[in-house]
Amino acid sequence: MEGQSTQEQLEAEGWVKKFTIDKERLPEYIELYENIGLEVRVEAVVPAEVEGCNTCFEAECNKFMVIYTRARANGKEKMQ
């Protein structure tokens, strides 16, 4: 939708922003969330959408990614 941030668009689709992380750590968190039965989506950081100081993201935006999760479409999450 025009005028919405990436985060707003994803939240409208049911995605929940978890956190921003260095690309090198992505695989372990993707595996963690998938193992508990969540869908995982990874998006590039949009420096203009970062709240507060975004100097690091502007300087090295390709180094960081944002992790989003949501319940699987079939509604089945693994119970621990």
Q: What 3-state DSSP class applies to 26?
A: helix
Higher pLDDT, 62 or 12: 12
- For 18-58, how does the pLDDT look when each residue is reduced to its tens digit (9 = 90+)? 999 999 999 999 999 999 999 999 998 877 777 777 677 66
Higher pLDDT, 74 or 20: 20
Q: What is the largest CA-CA distance in the chain?
A: 40
Q: Is the pLDDT of residue 63 over 70?
A: yes
Note the pTM of the prediction, 2 decimals: 0.79
State how far the Cα of 48 lies from the Cα of 12, in Å rounded to an integer: 20
